[in-house]
């Protein structure tokens, strides 16, 4: 079970680090797109910091599982927030924006599985 927890933690950490770093720096098309959709730059940066912190927590959580479980639970919260944002903006009904909006739906079960496998490996 521990091997699965490590694999899921590393994968989720890499995804969240890659997603959060541009938001923290407010550079690139994703932060600009979020700001264009009505999010303030402070909120975009806050989400980016939360994503980077989750990535660090998942990495450290490989050795200290309680932190990894908390970080995985935090990713679940961030992903639920992202899904609700996409629903509010109507992006699941628009074929032009649907592909990017599906990412949090795909990652949500991975985050839940990460938290559960880390908890089971205690």
DSSP string, the chain: -HHHHHHHHHHHHHHHHHHHHHHHHT-SHHHHHHHHTT--HHHHHHHHHHHHHHHHHHHHTTTSHHHHHHHHHHHHHHHHHHHHHHHHTTTTS-TTTHHHHHHHHHHHHHHHHHHHHHHHT-
Residue 67 reports pLDDT greater than 90: yes
- Report pLDDT for 62: 94
Residue 40 reports pLDDT greater than 90: yes
Express each pLDDT in 70-108 by its tens digit: 999 999 999 999 999 999 999 898 888 888 889 999 999
Query: pTM above 0.75?
Result: yes
Express each pLDDT in 16-29 by its tens digit: 999 999 999 999 99
**Domain boundaries, given as residue ranges, for the chain:** 2-120
Q: What is the mean pLDDT of the chain?
A: 94
- Report pLDDT for 43: 95
């Amino acid at each position: 079970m521990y091997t699965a927890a490590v694999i899921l933690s590393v994968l989720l950490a890499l995804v969240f680090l890659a997603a959060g770093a541009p938001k923290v720096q407010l550079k690139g098309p994703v932060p600009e797109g979020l700001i264009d959709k009505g999010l303030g730059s402070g909120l975009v940066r806050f989400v980016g910091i939360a994503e980077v912190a989750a990535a660090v927590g998942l990495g450290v959580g490989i050795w200290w599982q309680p932190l990894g479980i908390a970080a995985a639970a935090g990713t679940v919260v961030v992903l639920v927030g992202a899904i609700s944002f996409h629903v509010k903006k109507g992006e699941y009904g628009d074929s032009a924006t649907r592909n990017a909006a599906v990412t949090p739906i795909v990652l949500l079960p991975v985050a839940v599985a990460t938290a559960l496998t880390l908890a089971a490996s205690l």
